[in-house]
Amino acid sequence: MSVEDQIRLRHMLDAAREAMSFLTGRTANDLRTNRMFLLAVVKEIEIIGEAASRVSEETKKTLPNISWPKIVAMRNRLIHAYADVDLSVLWLTLTVALPELIRELEPAIPLDK
């Protein structure tokens, strides 16, 4: 795996962990009522999608359980259709997809030093 891909995967993992940290004590309704929370998690998901879009095809093949097209599509949706985001889909991404992504990425990235 190239150093560039390692960096991109690290960005994805860090952003996923950061988004998860924002969830403490939150509910799906907070996406509707707390604009700062909404913007924070959207930004982290955008970072994940942008990094994912730049991971090489070779590295993607080594991580087949990651839904690369869905991650990039989510980023594109958030960037280009920001006024029409389904908050229930966003909540599922935060509570289901991100923990799964973290589980897939952690063994693929060299340990922090």
pLDDT digits (tens, 9 = 90+) for 43-67: 999 999 999 999 999 999 999 999 9
Q: Which of 17, 54, 75, 103 is catalytic?
A: 75
75 belongs to the catalytic site: yes
pLDDT value for 112? 55
**Segments of the chain scoring below 50 in pLDDT:** 113
pLDDT value for 37? 94
11 belongs to the catalytic site: no
**Ramachandran assignment for 34, one of left (phi > 0), alpha (psi -120 to 50 degrees), beta (any other):** beta
**Number of folded domains that form the chain:** 1
Please report whether residue 111 resides in a domain: no
79-90 in b/e form (b: 16+ CB < 10 A) is eeeeeeeeeeeb
Please report whether residue 9 resides in a domain: yes
Q: Please give the residue range of the domain that contains residue 78.
A: 3-106
Q: Which of 8, 32, 35, 80 is catalytic?
A: 80
pLDDT value for 113? 44
pTM, full prediction = 0.89
pLDDT value for 85? 83
